Amino acid sequence: MTDPTRLLAAYDEQLRTDAETPSAVSVTSLGPLRLVTFTGGRGFVTYRDLDGADEEAIRRLVPQALDHYRADPTINRIEWKTREHDHAPGLHEALLECGFTRGEPESIMLGEARALAVDVELPEGVTLRRVTEEKDVRAMTAMAAVAFGDPVSDDMAEALLRRLSRHDGMELWVAEAHGQVVSAGRLEPVHGTDFAGIWGGATLVEWRGRGIYRALTAARARSALRMHKTLIHSDSTEYSRPILERAGLVKVSTTTPYDWRR
Report yes or no on whether pTM surpasses 0.75. yes
pLDDT in tens, 166-221: 898 999 999 999 999 999 999 999 999 999 999 988 999 999 999 999 999 999 99
User: Which parts of the chain have pLDDT scores under 50?
Assistant: none
Q: What per-residue confidence (pLDDT) applies to 248?
A: 84
Residues composing the chain: 262
Q: What per-residue confidence (pLDDT) applies to 78?
A: 98
Cα–Cα dist 46/82, whole Å: 7
| Domains of the chain in sequence order | 17-107 (no CATH), 111-254 (3.40.630.30)
Torsion of the alpha carbons at 49, 36, 161 and 249, rounded to the nearest 10: 10
Q: What per-residue confidence (pLDDT) applies to 244?
A: 86
Closest CA to 212 of 222, 201, 228: 201
Q: What per-residue confidence (pLDDT) applies to 1?
A: 57
Cα–Cα dist 140/64, whole Å: 38
